Structure 1
Amino acid sequence: MRASRQLSVAVACPGEAWPHPDWPARDDPYVERAVLLSEPFRIPESADVVVLRSAEPLRYFRELVTGTTPAIVISPCRAAETVIEVFRGGAGYLVEGDYCACMLSSAVVGASVGHTYLSPAACAALREGVRRQSAAGEATERLRGLLSPRERQIMDLLSTGLGAQAIGLRLRLSEKTVRNNLSNIYAKLDARGSTDAVLRWLGAADGGGQRALAR
């Protein structure tokens, strides 16, 4: 999905260097500027998205990424527990060495419209962590049984980090059709949005999806 205007990004790199000094490019159609913040970090009201770059993202996550500004974490850490915690907090996650500048711009645009973007390695860590941690396998399967075969296809793709447009291309559906399906999925799973739905689908949500099953 294209942003309706070019975006402003606030960048926080506690104790570390920002690896993309030439980003955004002058011809970037999505991101207008990236402002490197100094400590103590204060997110400017003009920022559309905040990016936290840290080897220990959870150390700074609650301070920087729990406000109303959408967020993305960039980190060399690919520990499943860290990725899950960040994802539960509603932020995207890009593993260093696992993305390019174009993907960073796409992640920023996605965050600005409510999509939680994960790089491939972050997706893999999330799914592996859920398989290890989930103690609600039966409940999760019952939850998945609430969805139609098409809805299950969409959730499989959503849980790999794809947005509605990309899912539509994969399944040869219009973006509008995918979004209509997602609205139905959220209602069935009793999910607040895409992040919550993916966590419930994977069995990583608090309560393992019991809220939806109890209705």
Structure 2
Amino acid sequence: MRASRKLTVALACPEDAWPHPDWPAPDDPYVECVTTLREPLGSGEAADVVILYREDPSAAVRQLPATDTPVIVISPCRDTEAIVEVFRAGAGYLVEGDYCTCMLSSAVVGATVGHTYLSPVACAALREGAGQLPTGGEAMERLRELLSPRERQIMELLSTGLSAPEMGLRLQLSEKTVRNNLSNIYAKLEVRGSTEAVLTWLGATSAVQA
């Protein structure tokens, strides 16, 4: 997926802690520049996406309500509970050392269209965390039965952190078809976007625990 214009990222990171001083590369097709974000976060920052680099992701979660800009949290923390907390707050999560700068650029683009991107370790932690919660038994099965076989297939891929273009490649479908399916899924599950859909699909919301 190519952005219609290059994006600006605001970075909130402790001094000298950012591990990608050469990102974005001059030929990065998605991200134009990275600016330093003033803290505490404000709503008037001129950026398309905010990246919070934090040792403690819980501190990042406490900052999220201060900005309406999409947020990606990067942290060395692999604690399941912390990752689930960040995802519930609507932010993407990349575990340090578990992604490349190409994935980081893709996460930035995805965030601008409502996709909550997770690195592979963060995906595994989310699924593990959801697996430790009550799944709702029959209520969960009824909810899943609302979806067609194709929609269930797409939800499985979405819950592993794949974006619409990546799902399209995996399923040999156009991106438009995938997005149409996602719109139908959101309507059937009565959710507002990918984050709520994944939490519902994994049985990690009250909607399936009644």
Structure 1 pair 137–74 and aligned structure 2 pair: CA distance change class (3 A): farther
Instruction: After superposition, give the CA deviation of every residue in 1:48-92 in whole Å (9 maximum; x if it has no partner).
Output: 000001111112322245521001000111111111111111111
Do the aligned partners of 1:11 and 1:36 also contact (CA within 8 Å) in 2? yes
Do the aligned partners of 1:10 and 1:43 also contact (CA within 8 Å) in 2? no
Pair 1:74 & 2:71 matched: no
* Alpha-carbon distance, 1:36 to partner: 2.2
Larger mean CA deviation between 42-51 and 82-91 belongs to 42-51
Identity %: 69
Instruction: Give the TM-score normalised by structure 2.
Output: 0.93
* Alpha-carbon distance, 1:114 to partner: 1.0
Do the aligned partners of 1:52 and 1:64 also contact (CA within 8 Å) in 2? no
Gaps of 5+ in 1: 211-215
Pair 1:110 & 2:98 matched: no
Q: Name the aligned partner's letter for residue 170 of structure 1.
A: R
What is the distance in 2 between the residues matched to 1:126 and 1:116?
Answer: 12
Residue of structure 1 in register with 2:128 after alignment: 128
Instruction: After superposition, give the CA deviation of every residue in 1:102-144 in whole Å (9 maximum; x if it has no partner).
Output: 1111100110111110000000000011001235243222211
Instruction: Give the TM-score normalised by structure 1.
Output: 0.91
Written as runs of structure 1 = structure 2, the 5 A alignment for 1:26-175 is 26-42=26-42, 44-64=44-64, 66-175=66-175
**For the aligned residues, what is the CA RMSD?**
1.8
Written as runs of structure 1 = structure 2, the 5 A alignment for 1:174-189 is 174-189=174-189
* Alpha-carbon distance, 1:41 to partner: 4.2
What is the distance in 2 between the residues matched to 1:69 and 1:191?
Answer: 20
Q: How many residues align?
A: 210
* Alpha-carbon distance, 1:40 to partner: 4.0
Structure 1 pair 182–32 and aligned structure 2 pair: CA distance change class (3 A): same
What is the distance in 2 between the residues matched to 1:85 and 1:132?
Answer: 14
Do the aligned partners of 1:143 and 1:209 also contact (CA within 8 Å) in 2? no
Q: Name the aligned partner's letter for residue 126 of structure 2.
A: L
Gaps of 5+ in 2: none
**Any idea what SS the aligned residue of 1:133 has?**
coil
Instruction: After superposition, give the CA deviation of every residue in 1:150-189 in whole Å (9 maximum; x if it has no partner).
Output: 1100000010011111111111111111111111111110
